[in-house]
Amino acid sequence: MQIFAVYDLTIGYKTPLPLFMDNAVGTNPKEVHIHIKRIPISDIPLSETEVSTWLVNAFSSKDELLRHFYKEGVFPGTPVEGELSTISGLLNFFAILICTGLLLWFMLIPSVWIRVYLAFSFLLLVGSTYFGYKPKSLFGTRFQC
């Protein structure tokens, strides 16, 4: 197994540092920010003295990230979320509600013929997939897969 990169994670909490039980129960924190940095293996030095200097620099940059986070509330370079449109949210909600209602209505129709049609359609699709059957086109050309 070959390692190509190391990932440096810095976690910032909006509230004071939570206790372990707060995390386990899910009561605190309500907002967590994670800054992830990918470090290619080729950027990590090999000698012991260079690695120690590199680690000190890495932790000093993490301290700067956290200072910025606790001052500004976000990590540097993080895009700020915009306000959500109420109208767009309501339109999406009603579109999903209508689609779900239509599917349920079609599913619960008491007509036997619709159920027979659906069963035969299902069998045709399963059979044609299993046996590799490709029907001829109505217009004389075949679709290429």
Within 8 A by CB and 6+ apart from 22, the residues are 28, 29
pTM equals 0.50
pLDDT (average), residues 79-108: 80
pLDDT at 142 over 60: no
Contact 50, 60 (CB under 8 A): no
Mean pLDDT within 33-62: 92
Average pLDDT, the chain: 81
pLDDT at 48 over 70: yes
CB 12 within 8 A of CB 75: yes
Q: How confident is the model over 6-26, as pLDDT tens digits?
A: 999 998 888 777 777 777 777
For the chain, domain boundaries:
5-72
